[in-house]
Amino acid sequence: MKDRLIALARSFGFEECAFASVRPVRQTGPLHPQAAVLSEEITDIMPDAKCVMLCAMPYRPFIPEAGQAHVDAYYLTSNRAHEAVQQLARAIAEQLSLSAVPSPPIFIKPLAVRSGLGEFGRNGLVSVGQYGTRAALQTVLLNADLAAPEHEDRALSPHCTSCGACVKACPVGALDGTGRVDISRCLRAQPEGEAFPEPLRKSLGGSLLGCDICQRVCPRNAQVIPAAMPDELRRALDLSQLLSGNFKPLIPFLGKNNARRQRLTARALIAAANLKRHDLLPLIAPLRECRESEMVKEHAEWAYDQLNHAE
């Protein structure tokens, strides 16, 4: 059965899979606001669940381009993986006659370590073999007991023993070296729908979504070769277009959840200021009067001020 599940998952783009028990996942430390909806008790979601199937869809990061608005390649693959796992669950039910619940609200990273799919790192991310941390993870709950012998949920990768590159590289000091991430500081973890903390804005550079720094320096990613950003995505990330409200070309890349208008407008305002795009001031100025969103209005005031007064 395992082999058939793995072959099916591969046909949907999940290159690596593993199976974990449904034992509860105990959380320690502060949670990301989006994680508040996650359940420690897996069988609360599917009472007859017997195992969690962990699936990894690898990706290649984009080659960094100075002076350019960008998003992390992770978000494109995470969007694809979310769609693919729904299809995978349907195929499992139809072809293998198992009950399968895709994308349940559970803590994926400890389960990925428990299953042996990956190893936890000081940067708070799980690496999956040759793909390193460059993989979007998804899960399916199954009513078949396929779990392998278990690994400890938060065991640190041996790669981390004599390394601390991510801790040193993080521009905002969000990593303490234990694998915990200070979510109040991490650039990637800032909750959607809230103003981006002002002291952290300059560290974002031209990024509209994500921060890649602690992955770029990680030796676990040594085998993953970055790729050029597709031209179509580059066009969709044009700041003058985003500040004019045209964010729809980004939806096919990022999905509706990630391409929300107010969040993207706020991030485009930060990027415009950080990239010193004085040419965008005529588009930024009217957003200071934005009636739809206090967040956009405040970010516009900040960007306007930065471009007019900062050196």
State how far the Cα of 211 lies from the Cα of 208, in Å rounded to an integer.
Answer: 9
- Minimum distance from residue 166 beta carbon to ligand SF4 (Å): 3
Residue of closest CB approach to ligand SF4 = 121
Residue 48 CB-density burial (10 A; 0-12 exposed, 13-18 middle, 19+ buried): exposed
Task: Cite the beta strand spans of the chain per DSSP E.
Answer: 16-20, 51-58, 70-71, 100-102, 119-120, 126-127, 135-142, 207-209
Q: Which is nearer to ligand SF4, 13 or 121 (CB)?
A: 121
Residues at the site binding ligand SF4, with contacts judged by CB under 6 A: 121-123, 157, 159-160, 163-166, 170, 172, 174-175, 181, 186-188, 211, 213-214, 217-220
- Minimum distance from residue 236 beta carbon to ligand SF4 (Å): 23
Q: Which is nearer to ligand SF4, 222 or 227 (CB)?
A: 222
Q: Which is nearer to ligand SF4, 243 or 270 (CB)?
A: 270
- Minimum distance from residue 184 beta carbon to ligand SF4 (Å): 11
State how far the Cα of 146 lies from the Cα of 59, in Å rounded to an integer.
Answer: 27
State how far the Cα of 115 lies from the Cα of 152, in Å rounded to an integer.
Answer: 9
Query: 299: which residues sit within 8 A by CB, 6+ positions away?
Result: 195, 196, 265, 266, 269, 270, 287
User: What is the residue whose two structure tokens read 């990593």?
Assistant: 175
Q: Which is nearer to ligand SF4, 214 or 242 (CB)?
A: 214
- Minimum distance from residue 181 beta carbon to ligand SF4 (Å): 5
State how far the Cα of 51 lies from the Cα of 106, in Å rounded to an integer.
Answer: 13
- Minimum distance from residue 149 beta carbon to ligand SF4 (Å): 24
State how far the Cα of 23 lies from the Cα of 39, in Å rounded to an integer.
Answer: 12
- Minimum distance from residue 239 beta carbon to ligand SF4 (Å): 21
Q: Which is nearer to ligand SF4, 226 or 249 (CB)?
A: 226
Q: Which is nearer to ligand SF4, 123 or 306 (CB)?
A: 123
Q: Which is nearer to ligand SF4, 125 or 280 (CB)?
A: 125
In angstroms and rounded to an integer, the radius of gyration of the C-alpha atoms of the chain is 20
Residue 249 CB-density burial (10 A; 0-12 exposed, 13-18 middle, 19+ buried): middle
- Minimum distance from residue 106 beta carbon to ligand SF4 (Å): 22
